[in-house]
Structure 1
Amino acid sequence: MTRRSFVKLTENINEIREAIRQHGQRGAEKLRRQNGLAKAVLVFLKTNPFRQDLHQYSPSLLLELPRPTADSREILHTAGYALERIYRKGYLYQKGGVMLLDLIDADRQQLSLLDTPQSDAEQQRSAKLMSAMDALNQRMGRDTVKLGMPSPGAAWHLRCAHRSARWTTRWDELPTLYAG
């Protein structure tokens, strides 16, 4: 599951779509790292349950993928379709997320009688493309290659201004002492 609260409440469908796209991409990357495939995608939105002055709405929709996949494009297409079906104008959303469900190991995938050599070639091409994307992102830095361009300052961007130091998990953030 990949989810995050938005920096500010928003009803802008484009900002929410970008967030869902970002979450779906992260989930697919994690899935490929684990050599897994997903059979279904769940997309959800939430309004702020602590704001009694606002109307509450917390929809979710589970959609089955056409075939088990770790391809970001297929996951994002399905997630985008789910978002279009659950989004309602007039609500201020606080959080959105994507959950990949019914996970299987890529090496133990159940074969289908309906698969053709063309679909097998397409799956191999897809795996090569996703592998190349992951390799570039690993070598050049996270989000070097991504699907879709996020708008700057969107409500879903992570704001780290008040984050505490991460000395125990980041070598580059260890305090440095200089003897003078």
Structure 2
Amino acid sequence: MTPTPTPATQENWLRLDRQICFSLHAASRAFNGVYRVILKDLGLTYPQYLVMLVLWERGDLPVKKLGEHLRLDSGTLSPLIKRLEGAGLVRRERNTRDERSVQVRLTEEGAALRERALEVPRRIFASTGFDVEELGALRARLDELTTALDAAALSETPGQS
């Protein structure tokens, strides 16, 4: 059972250094900085790298499914795909059975880039100073946190039960 907070402990809750959201934000920005340097050799930004990871893993996908995997809406995802297409790494094709659906496919160049990208996770891992078990445990806990926050957001949505 969680102890009831006292006014004295509640006062500390508003300190920036006590906010888990800020710690996650700061870690995310630090990761982005490391990725920026590492991905420069591949000619990718971090969000573009995430798109490529999904396509390397899953193959051709409709934009909608790609967005679901990345937790991005089409308004955010479409410009990323457009830039990747401009770089010759992917191509977009309308689904012949459903004109509203756009399929994203790797080009030969995009598929070949995967080989060069194999070095990225090793370099990121080396940058963290964590061992494999620590990183695995952290990722698992963050996944649990995401699931809990998704559930909390759903329960707070007006009109939802």
Q: Which category describes the TM-score, using the shorter chain as reference length?
A: under 0.3
TM superposition score normalised by structure 1: 0.25
Higher helix proportion: 2
Q: Which has the higher contact order (CA 8 A, sep 6+)?
A: 1
More strand per residue: 1 or 2? 1
